[in-house]
Amino acid sequence: MRDNNKTILIDKYITGKLEDTELWEFKIEIEKNAAFAREVKLRKEMYDAIGDDKKMELLKTLNNLKVRKQKRIFNINIYSRQVQSIAASLIVLMIVGAGLLSNYSDNNKNFNYNIYTENFVDEGSLISTRSDVKSDNSLVESGIRMYDNKQYAEAISLLDANPENVTARLYSGLAYMKLELFDNAEKQFIYIIDHKDNIFIDQAEWNLGLSYLANNKTDQATSVFTKIASENGAYSTKASVIIKKLKNN
């Protein structure tokens, strides 16, 4: 079978245009010729990989090309060897582009996570001392002790049993950060911020911003740090530095 004939037959086979006799002979060739079968399979996969919209766009573009030497418009079969080569190149470019986009996303995630690790400070015991808050709930106090002993999962089980206690919420959020369960940490800090009437709002805002960063939620993190930077609080200077880093990335 000539190469030209093979190309035409494969094109017709893929598009369902083979006559009964041709189809029977074509299938026999596939059965006895492994190389031919592989070529058919490859062309079929290439055809399936191109979306219908892309096929129509490519067909429209190619049908509008002009042959300068002949000075006439000619139609090109979208399933021909030349067009399939172009299509294959487009697919490769799309795959490469997707890879580059994925690499960019990974790099951005790593950049955000590095900022998080640079700025997260375990100040649990310091908060307890500074706040001068004594809980009348033994479970909360036990949870704080477990947190200080780095028993984060055990601490969370006790602290989360006291959802209305802002001190428990804060330590629970920090424990979730230690375990890198940032979605859970965010919920705890948001509760403290929304509660309003407590002394932990600045710590909650700061750690919420860091949790957003670690979770690669750049827009939310930027919003939180912008608010912190605009206020004359303990974290305003650090927040301004983070914002600059995010803008320059």
Q: DSSP letters along 128-163, please?
A: HHHHT---S-HHHHHHHHHHHTT-HHHHHHHHTT-T
Name the amino acid, one letter, at 107: N
**How far apart are alpha carbons 225 and 239 in whole angstroms?**
5
CATH number assigned to the domain covering 120-248: 1.25.40.10
Summarize the confidence of residues 214-226 as an average pLDDT. Answer: 95
Q: Please give the angle made by the CA atoms of 174, 215 and 203, to the nearest 5 degrees.
A: 35
Q: What percentage of the chain carries pLDDT values higher than 70?
A: 67
Residue spans of the domains in the chain: they are 3-89, 120-248
Report field, pTM of the whole predicted structure over 0.75:
no
Residue 102: pLDDT over 50: no
In the chain, pLDDT over 90 holds for what percent of residues?
41
Task: Kindly indicate the confidence band of residue 175, based on its pLDDT and cuts at 50, 70 and 90.
Answer: very high
